Structure 1
Amino acid sequence: MSRGARIADVARLAEVSVPTVSRVLNGSSGVRPETVARVMRAVKELDYRPKGVARTLISGSRSMIAVMASHLNRYGYAEVLAGIERAARDNDYAVTVCVIDPMIGPGDGDMEGSIRRALSQEIAGVIVIDFDAQGERVIGRMPSSVPMIGVTGFDGRPGHVPYAVMDEHSGGRLVTEHLLDLGHDTVHHVTEPPFGRPSGRTAGWRAALEARGIEPPPTWAATFDPRSGYELGLELAHRDDVTAVFCATDVVAAAVLRAFRDAGVALPGGKSVAGFDDQPFSRFLSPALTTVEQDFQRLGWLAFRQLLHLRDGQSQPPDLVVRPALVVRESSARPHL
């Protein structure tokens, strides 16, 4: 039986000393970025398992997992983390959170630093909240010897890692079909900011229109600033061809509703608006927002269960999928003829 890679093997491949490798893996300062990058490439190539992770897998004595994410103040990220923490507590595990700077560029060493900090602790595995490009990059750079689960809502996810998936595609179809069933000729779509991969909710909107022989109209791109949704809403308010608007988030939908009201659009009825996520404030808007409920906490809970499956040395678990649900409220109605 062949032995696993040792720290000396990493040092030899990276052409540095063993103490330098140790400093890199422990997140110490004073190591040049090019040296850090060389060491981390060697760790990945050799599938080197840092001591903390190795002790955990051999003895099973540690009960801590690492969660890696680029945002914790956004609704979906925070709710997934809450689900992971709840499942961890129920199983006597602790959670450590490693935040990746969402503004870092592809060549920045901060991501390697985040990975090093996670692996320097005695963890049983890693859950990556892969809702953006940073999450995808973490998964690509993590040593394959570390038990790891991804959490996403994107289409086209990598196939070498098990995922807990929110089926945003079906959610986009559900809300679009609802608006079409009310009698709207088409549905206009305000998108979320691009993340470098196809959005499932946008793909579902497009698929629902095409299934009915409707050419999807051009999309309207919002940013994370709610003001962008308000400004787009003012433009849409004066378009006679726009009777139904599907917004990729509830925050954008709330801003569009306010813009419609300020522009004198009758609500509901003059135009219909739907969101996505079913955030707690959505039912208290005026009119109350039609939206798509995503059970993010269940998604986090399932991701933790998958990680336990991997940690116990069983075969790689299949992707687990959470289906969203349409929540119909007052903001969607039949168009005025």
Structure 2
Amino acid sequence: DTPFVGNDNRQSVSTIVDYLCRSGEPPVYLDIPHVNHNSGERQESYIVAMETAGFKPAVIEAARDYTWDFERIGYEQTEKMLEAGTLPGRTILCANDRLAFGVMAAAYSRGLKVGRRPDCDLRVAAHDDHPLSRYTCPALTTMAQDFTAMAGRSVEILLALLDEADPPKQGMARTVKLGATLVMRQSA
């Protein structure tokens, strides 16, 4: 019964999957350890979006390392797949931007070019629009969550709950999910 304000993962993952499928090879999905609700929702949303688009989903399961060290996880998983020649595609959709930072670093260490140009080896995209995403090389294509709107709705709900003179309206949504915006940069 606790109110929740967050990202609409179905909308955002569907948007970026659609973009990646229309602009090149369909993406494989690199998951993170399921340390919060977003990871499971995003993986499920990826599968639905790929099937809706007529493609077979390809999920690279999360490492068994249940930490928040996503950059290291992305680097190590990508390094292992590149070493073994088992990377299942040239377009990688990462569960979050921090995971993508590790993927891009592993690609760089192998001399692979990341980007959307024809001379590039991999395309990498992600989710969250982390403040560093615009500064990676190349800059990371991602989905930007509307943190300002999330904060505003959270405050509205909190103030309504605290207002003893006017109890929350029966119709007030307990769960609010807000859409995200595609930020196209050079990585995909």
Partners of 2:176 and 2:36 lie apart in 1 by: 23
In the alignment, which residue of structure 1 is the partner of 2:27?
Answer: 187
**1:249 partnered with 2:99:** no
Q: Is the contact between residue 267 and residue 331 of structure 1 (CA under 8 Å) also seen in structure 2?
A: yes
SS of residue matched to 2:128: coil
Which of 113, 118, 126 is the aligned partner of 1:275?
126
The answer to whether the aligner puts 1:315 opposite 2:162 as a matched pair is no
Distance 2:40 2:59 in 1: 15
1:169–1:202 contact (8 Å) kept in structure 2: no
Match of 1:211 among 43, 52, 65: 52
Post-superposition shift, 1:320?
2.8
Residue 224 (structure 1) aligns with: 68
Any idea what SS the aligned residue of 2:111 has?
coil
Tell me, yes or no, if structure 1 residue 264 matches structure 2 residue 111.
yes
**Is the contact between residue 172 and residue 203 of structure 1 (CA under 8 Å) also seen in structure 2?**
no
Q: Determine the structure 2 residue equivalent to 1:41.
A: none
Specify which structure has the bigger relative contact order, considering alpha-carbon pairs within 8 angstroms and separated by 6 or more residues: 2
Q: How far 1:309 moved relative to its partner?
A: 2.2
> 1:302 is aligned with what amino acid?
R
- Mapped partners of 2:72, 2:4: distance in 1: 34
**Secondary structure at the counterpart of residue 132 of structure 2:** helix
Which is further off, 312-321 or 292-301? 312-321
Unaligned runs of 5+ in 2: none
Tell me which moved more, 215-224 or 297-306.
215-224
- Distance (Å, rounded) in 1 between the aligned partners of 2:81 and 2:22: 21
Given that residues 92 and 124 in structure 2 are in contact (C-alpha distance below 8 angstroms), is that contact kept between their aligned partners in structure 1?
yes
Task: Give 1:196 shift.
Answer: 7.0
Partners of 2:176 and 2:87 in 1: CA distance: 42
Aligned counterparts of 2:52 and 2:36: Cα–Cα separation in 1: 25
Q: Which residue of 2 aligns with 1:71?
A: none
Kept after mapping to 2: 8 A contact 1:169/1:201: yes
Change (3 A) 1:196 1:303: closer
Cα drift, residue 183 of structure 1:
2.4
Aligned counterpart, 1:164: 5
Counterpart-to-counterpart distance in 1, 2:154 and 2:62? 31
Shift in Å, 1:190: 1.4
Higher CA-based Rg: 1
Q: Note closer, same or farther for the CA distance 1:180–1:321 as it changes in structure 2 (3 Å cut).
A: same
Distance in 2 separating the partners of 1:321 and 1:282: 23
* Aligned-partner residue type, residue 287 of structure 1: P
> What amino acid maps onto 1:273 in structure 2?
V
| Aligned residue pair count | 172
TM-superposed CA distance for 1:258, in Å, is 0.8
- The alignment status of 1:176 with 2:17, answered yes or no, reads yes
Q: How does 1:126-165 map to 2 (within 5 A)?
A: 160-165=1-6
The TM-score with structure 1 as length reference comes to: 0.47
**2:138 aligned with 1:298, yes or no?**
no
What is the alpha-carbon root mean square deviation over aligned residues? 2.0
- Post-superposition shift, 1:240? 6.0
Partner of residue 119, structure 1: none
Instruction: Sort the Cα spacing of 1:307 and 1:277 in 2 relative to 1 into closer, same or farther, 3 A.
Output: same
Number of the residue aligned with 1:286: 137
Using the alignment, how far apart are the partners of 1:230 and 1:293 within structure 2?
Answer: 23
